[in-house]
Amino acid sequence: MSISLGSALRPPPSRVSSMASAPTSKYNSHSLENESIKRTSRDGVNRDVGEPLPRLPGEIRITDKEVIYICPFNGPIKGRVYITNYRLYLRSLETDSALILDVPLGVISRIEKMGGATSRGENSYGLDITCKDLRNLRFALKQEGHSRRDMFEILTRYAFPLAHSLPIFAFLNEEKFNVDGWTVYNPVEEYRRQGLPNHHWRITFINKCYKLCDTYPALLVVPYRASDEDLRRVATFRSRNRIPVLSWIHPENKTVIVRCSQPLVGMSGKRNKEDERYLDVIRETNRQVNKLTIYDARPNVNAVANKATGGGYESDDVYHNAELFFLDIHNIHVMRESLKKVKDIVYPNVEESHWLSSLESTHWLEHIKLVLTGAIQVADKVSSGKSSVVVHCSDGWDRTAQLTSLAMLMLDSFYRSIEGFEILVQKEWISFGHKFASRIGHGDKNHADADRSPIFLQFIDCVWQMSKQFPTAFEFNERFLITILDHLYSCRFGTFLYNCESAREKQKVTERTVSLWSLINSNKDKFKNPFYTKEINRVLYPVASMRHLELWVNYYIRWNPRIKQQPNPVEQRYMELLALRDEYIKRLDELQLANSAKLSDPSASPSSPSQMMPHVQTHF
């Protein structure tokens, strides 16, 4: 188990001073707009050189108050906190501290009052704010004048708009970008890229009005030999009507990855002839395949237990031409508790003396290993041409999405490009009904909801692990992944809102909100990996042993200023050169404008051609 923490905690003496003085990149949700004037401070938050309260188009200032920010690293700092309908923004009022704290309200999970009327300790009366991105914020307030009550009520109202019949900020955001991120994913085009439909697979619009399955997309790819009536019969035997449908087809050997939910076997061992026949039809789409492989993401014992609630799994006795494997990936509740333990060991303090044992006790990397191992098995089975694969868990929207999308990332280099990865997320997660609203709790005050779980974060962590092992295989960089996670919570964009496609259509999300991909694709250079080498048919098999997995320090411990990794020097230089290029292009445009103005003025006509173009000095 490799942890890139030792070097972060103990930099070599020769680098200590340079690390202390060098600005370190902070990829929070707001550094993207104001990057030129912001940098990360040593207390883990953004510093600014004098900009007033930043506001997005559609963002409205609600109130501001003088507070004491209880910084877990530098102690109490006097400041003014501004609250808008989108963010909490703190600016230090102390002359020796230029601290700025910029937190989207969507990141807030819980707001609690700290201390009571009789509290006498210094800074013991105020608010304690728990965030979804592994940090807590504490503010001390004056006891007189109801200042805490006012701030508590305003924060609660705008951090949890759904509880107050208010719109989520994404519906108020009026940002404009030069690219429309909603056009990134077109299911027909994506299936056509895969060579579909063909003689064995067809596109069906049976779910056009979401009547077959309300959590599936409108457009599905199913076996050519299965009629729509067959699909309806199969739906009655699959949890939530989530029938087996195609996610990906191998371009050469034509084996497929199919996703679905568990069969409704129950304690009595029910059977459904149509379901059994349907899986056989899937197997027969490839004549070279004798068996269909079914990967059940759950531990065996959980799958058996699910029979008590009407679920279950495909028994070999009934599905004669299929073989079943359990992948031992735990449920959403286990993952939620595991991440809580990670937070306990990374924020606010990291105990270096027993770091490895503390990390091991969280089981987080163990879960990452099991998810990656399962995806490798799926990818290997399909790549070898030995078998087509069916993947499911219980309902087919959590572990199933992790496995199909990671396997597709390993098999298909298109998904390793920036736009390809956006399509992968739109397709396997957003359109196929991962319950983002339930798992993240956008705008919802019920922080203890048992449906909350970091399933998508876990997927992005697995992608990061792969990018560490294959540094030239991905067009995007770490900042791209962190930006996605920041806006998973921020509620600035409509991309991750609601649980399924039918709910998004009902709320007209693509018409009324901005897509996260608009932000990213309008400035792709910031998110590009300078080491990327495009390879068409390379299959990636990451090593999923504990020795090769790392805790993602730049994400999980980014708020702690004492554990900052040095940015990659080559990538840093690449970003500097991009900024330099932009500066020269801007200067050239200005000179050309000035020159055309001179040319249009006869009285200012130059005497020789050499005088027409001013000399531009460059460092190249």
pLDDT tens per residue across span 8-48: 444 333 333 333 333 333 333 333 333 333 333 333 344 44
Helix (H, G, I), strand (E, B) or coil at 560: coil
Amino acid present at 377? Q
**Is the overall model pTM greater than 0.85, yes or no?**
yes
Contacts 24+ apart (CB under 8 A), 35-40: 38/100
pLDDT of 1: 56
Q: Verify whether residue 393 is a known catalytic residue.
A: yes
pLDDT of 51: 54
pLDDT of 597: 81
**Per-residue burial over 24-37, b = 16 or more CB atoms within 10 Å of its CB, e = otherwise:** bbbbbbbbbeebee
d(CA 529, CA 464): 13
Q: Do the Cβ atoms of 599 and 611 come closer than 8 Å?
A: no
pLDDT of 47: 40
Active-site hit among 71, 131, 260, 393: 393
d(CA 229, CA 235): 10
Mind listing the pLDDT tens digit for each residue in 243-252?
Answer: 999 999 999 9
What DSSP state is assigned to residue 430?
I
Mean pLDDT score across all residues of the chain: 89
Mind listing the pLDDT tens digit for each residue in 77-116?
Answer: 999 999 999 999 999 998 887 889 999 999 999 999 998 8
d(CA 341, CA 397): 24
- ω into 348 cis (within 30 of 0): yes
pLDDT of 264: 98
Q: Do the Cβ atoms of 226 and 244 come closer than 8 Å?
A: no
pLDDT of 26: 33
Q: What is the largest CA-CA distance in the chain?
A: 98
Q: Do the Cβ atoms of 32 and 46 come closer than 8 Å?
A: no
The CB density around residue 212, as the number of other CB atoms within 10 Å, is 20
Extract the residue ranges of the chain whose pLDDT is less than 50. Answer: 2, 7-49, 609-620
pLDDT of 566: 57
Q: Do the Cβ atoms of 210 and 504 come closer than 8 Å?
A: no
CA distances from 114 to 100, 141, 436 (A): 22, 10, 31
103 CB-contact burial (10 Å; exposed 0-12 / middle 13-18 / buried 19+) = buried
Tell me the β-bridge partners of 92.
79
